[in-house]
Amino acid sequence: MDKLPEIILQISVYFVSAGIILSTLRMIKGPSMADRAVALDTFTVISISLIVLIACLSGRVIFLDVGMVYAILSFIGVVAVARYLEGGL
């Protein structure tokens, strides 16, 4: 009973990993370039959650900073791809 929170966290790691696999499949399959950009957006948001879950499971606070920098860089990347698709870059 003492281990219950850790087991629930490990189950949620499985759910998040399944989400990452599904969005990666869409990124491979997507017919046009905008589909791949949308899948990339979802992929980065899900992997921020995975990074913070790994921070909680391993107990190292440095992964929170990694997740923060990853969020900023992925936001800039997705907005740059969107501007490129629109033709404004």
Q: Where does this chain bind another protein (CB under 8 A)?
A: 1-2, 4-6, 8-9, 11-13, 15-16, 18-23, 25-26, 32, 34-35, 37-39, 41-42, 45-46, 48-49, 52-53, 55-56, 61, 64, 67-68, 71-72, 75, 78-79, 81-83, 85-87
Shortest reach from residue 75's CB to another protein, in Å: 4
Give yes or no for a contact between 55 and 61, defined as CB atoms under 8 angstroms apart.
yes
CA distance 51 to 60: 11
Rg (CA), the chain: 16
Shortest reach from residue 1's CB to another protein, in Å: 6
CA distance 21 to 6: 23
Shortest reach from residue 29's CB to another protein, in Å: 8
Give yes or no for a contact between 66 and 36, defined as CB atoms under 8 angstroms apart.
no
